[in-house]
Every structure is written in structure tokens, then in C-alpha cells.
Amino acid sequence: MNQNVKDYINEKVNELIGASSCSPEAKEAAENWLAAVGTDKEAEETKNLIEELEEDIMPVDTLIDFASSEGGAKVFGEEMAKNVAAHGREIKDAGAKYCDCPACMAVAAILEKKGEMLQ
């Protein structure tokens, strides 16, 4: 991967790590990638990062369904779950494919560069 792409991914990976909505698995993969940059493990950790992020990014329909469920009410609280579901419907209507929390936004930005990352 060229240096411009690497710098961009580094920035987005740090945003991901700092996001309160980042899953522990994504955070671990991101930290492993950062530690591997410039080493013989970089290519392997790049593939691992991409694989984890593809599993973790939340499609907007999944967000809406979860926020509308009993599980969503337990996680967010009943009122906040309603707000999250409504927000999900709003961003879906505006064309969003994924959740727009800070973690998913960073993941989407990273995955947009997937092809360049694997070069």
C-alpha cells in the first residue's frame, strides 16, 4: 500500500480506536494493525483488520431492527432505542447503507480503501 493510503488508514484506525462505539474485537484488530505497520506482519494484519471490520460494520437495516427490538431497548433504554431506530430510518431514507456512529463511519472509510490496502 502506498504511503498516502497508509497515512489515511492510520488516521481512520486511530479514530476507530477512540470511538466509544468500537467493539473490543475491532479495537484489537486496529491496535494489531498499528503495531504491525512497517514490519513483516503488516500484510497479514491488514487482511485481519479488513476481515474484522467487514464483520463489524452495521448495515443501517440491522441498526433499525436491533433498536426496534427488546434487545435494543435493553441496551439503549426504551426511549433512546426509539430515537436510534428513528435516526436509522432517517439516515436510510437519506441513502445511508451503514450506521453513522463514529466507529461505523471510521470502518466505512477504511473499507473504501480496501483495494488499495491489499496492493
Predicted pLDDT of residue 72: 96
Of 53, 44, 32, 34, whose CA–CA distance to 112 is shortest? 53
Predicted pLDDT of residue 77: 97
Whole-angstrom distance, CA of residue 93 vs CA of residue 9: 29
What pTM does this model have? 0.93
- Contacts of residue 107, defined as CB under 8 A and 6 or more positions apart, other chains included, come to 16, 26, 53, 56, 57, 98
Q: By the 8 A CB rule, do 52 and 29 touch?
A: yes
| Interval 40-52: pLDDT, tens | 999 999 999 999 9
Predicted pLDDT of residue 49: 98
| Interval 31-76: pLDDT, tens | 999 999 999 999 999 999 999 999 999 999 999 999 999 999 999 9
Q: How many CB atoms lie within 10 A of CB 51?
A: 11
